[in-house]
Amino acid sequence: MTNETLEKYDLDHASIVAWLREEDPARLAELWARADAVRKAHVGDAVHLRGLIEISNHCARECGYCGLRAGNRDLERYRMPEDEIIACAHDAKTYQYGTVVLQSGEDYGITAEWMASVIRRIKTETGLAVTLSLGERADEELALWREAGANRYLLRFETSDPDLYRLIHPPLKGRPERSRIEMLRTLQSLGYEAGSGVMVGIPGQTYETLARDIETFRGLDLDMIGIGPYISHPATPLGEGAWRRPIDEHDQAPNTELMTYKAVALTRLACPEANIPSTTALATINTAQGRELGLMRGANIVMPNLTPVKYRALYEIYPAKACINETSGECRTCLTARIRSIGREIGQGPGERKRRSDA
């Protein structure tokens, strides 16, 4: 974005922090309206549905908040067979989704060659856009998957504070530590649409840190940005309260629904062209209308779950996720009705980022 655009939306660092701290409902109504207007002007009224397939809950990492962490011995692990993944992709085609999202823990049992084969089959048999969310992988693997036809890659940097990041996301023994920011730049250089995101309200995350997160989105010129409230799994160091980063309680950004909406709205103003989902985590903390409010405050993407029900409860990043027992057909029907209830339309096609330079 240009400085002129930033000034138009009053988004210098101090103003972002001030908005994050804002509690006046009338002032926040102005923020919601501004974010919704910018969303409409830049990405339109279409809400694109991207079918999520949680292909594996194996993970080599020991992240301090995630139920998939390698140290969780109580979790039954699975990897979906290739034919089951392809069947889910065909469901997505039937439902007229433009994209499938293949997501897993950082599972090195998923080989580069096997994943490339899956991508090729999805592209050949359905023609859908393919988004990958498989954690930190080697550059040559990323290049292979791009050559196989993958269109997008999601990799959350979680927080722009390097010390807080190391605390919640310890390095993997035996593998070189990678900067997720640098990996996102590599993805862009390979021709992927690059997506990232953060959690709102991580213990130790300040308002200043969250403002820097939003500025980092802008600096990276991301195509997709996911923002959800911090929710820890109880069987994790953070969930058990084993450690906390000492900061002044008045500086701690809360992991509330309201704070998440603020971050979504401000991200829309900072990154007008980006695709921003209204996340499952929002729907989890407000089952009645969390997704709708996210869409009314800057978001334009929803990710209905295509994962077979027998696997969904096992993909337990955090407990009690929304829609965990719905079939993929029920999920589609529900989300379609919710989107139309707020006067929005269902997007057609892959829903790639539309840049102003493309117009």
pLDDT at 172: 87
For 44-350, give the CATH class.
Answer: alpha beta
pLDDT at 321: 83
Q: Please state the rounded mean pLDDT for residues 338-348.
A: 96
pLDDT at 304: 94
| Percent of the chain scoring above 90 in pLDDT | 82
- Residue 357: pLDDT band (50, 70, 90) is low
DSSP state of 171: P
User: What DSSP string describes 50-80?
Assistant: EEEEEEE-------TT-TTSTT-TTSPP-B-
Evaluate if residue 7 carries a pLDDT over 60: no
Instruction: Count CB neighbours of 180 within 10 A.
Output: 16
Q: What is the mean pLDDT of the chain?
A: 93
pLDDT at 10: 65
Q: Please state the rounded mean pLDDT for residues 188-204.
A: 96
- Residue 355: pLDDT band (50, 70, 90) is confident
Which has more pLDDT, 321 or 94? 94
- Residue 127: pLDDT band (50, 70, 90) is very high
CA proximity to 58, closest of 80, 90, 27, 88? 80
Give the Cα separation of 192 and 223 in Å (integer): 9
Which has more pLDDT, 114 or 174? 114
Q: Please state the rounded mean pLDDT for residues 220-247.
A: 88
Q: Please state the rounded mean pLDDT for residues 32-44.
A: 97
Evaluate if residue 205 carries a pLDDT over 70: yes
pLDDT in tens, 59-75: 999 999 999 999 999 99
pLDDT at 9: 61
pLDDT at 5: 43
pLDDT in tens, 278-306: 998 898 899 889 999 999 999 999 999 99
CA distances, 129 to each of 132, 175, 351, 355 (Å): 10, 31, 9, 18
Asked if residues 297 and 35 have their Cβ atoms less than 8 Å apart, the reply is yes
pLDDT in tens, 87-109: 999 999 999 999 999 999 999 99
CA proximity to 271, closest of 230, 299, 303, 302? 299
Q: Where along the chain do its domains lie?
A: 44-350
Evaluate if residue 3 carries a pLDDT over 60: no
Give the Cα separation of 54 and 304 in Å (integer): 11
pLDDT in tens, 132-176: 999 999 999 999 999 999 999 999 999 999 999 999 999 988 777
Longest dimension (CA), the chain: 54
